[in-house]
Every structure is written in C-alpha cells, then in structure tokens.
Amino acid sequence: MHKYYESRKIARERWRKTEHGKKWTQDYMREYRARPYVKAKYHEYYVKNKMCWGNIKENDILNADNTERFIEDAKK
C-alpha cells in the first residue's frame, strides 16, 4: 500500500463533503447511470432478483385477488 494512502483517502472524503464535491459526484453519477451498459446491468439485477423481493405474484392472480376484495367491500 502506498505511504500516502490514508491521508489521500481522508482528503478525498473531505472534498466529497464540500458543495463542489457533492455537485460533481451528483453530476457524475447522473451521467454514469445514463450509460447503456449500466442501465442493462441494473435491469439485469432487477429481473434476476425480482422474485426475491417479498411476495410477488403474477399479474393475473393479483388482479383476481383485488377484484375479489372490491366485490366484498361493495357488498358490505
């Protein structure tokens, strides 16, 4: 490891907390997320992990469940 690693790390963190650093990071990340390969990576992650995020049902089953609820609420 470089002998100035720790001090440079601290300096980068301090710079990122300044107004100029925050704006630079925000602009950079906005540009980064707009890149096609990054969008594809995020989409692949979303599709791959979609079924792991809670109890996600198919749209038809969800629609049927909601319809039953609306009918039951209307009868009350």
Residue 54 — left, alpha, or beta (φ > 0 → left; ψ -120 to 50 → alpha)?
left
> Residue 21, Cβ neighbours under 10 Å: how many?
14
Amino acid found at 17: K
More confident of the two residues 32 and 70: 32
Token representation of residue 60? 């038809």
Token representation of residue 67? 């319809």
pLDDT-above-70 percentage for the chain: 72
Mean pLDDT, rounded, for 40-64: 72
Residue pair 26/32 in contact (Cβ under 8 Å)? The answer is: no
Determine the Cα–Cα distance for residues 20 and 24; give it in Å rounded to an integer: 6
Amino acid found at 76: K
Q: Is pTM, for the whole model, over 0.85?
A: no
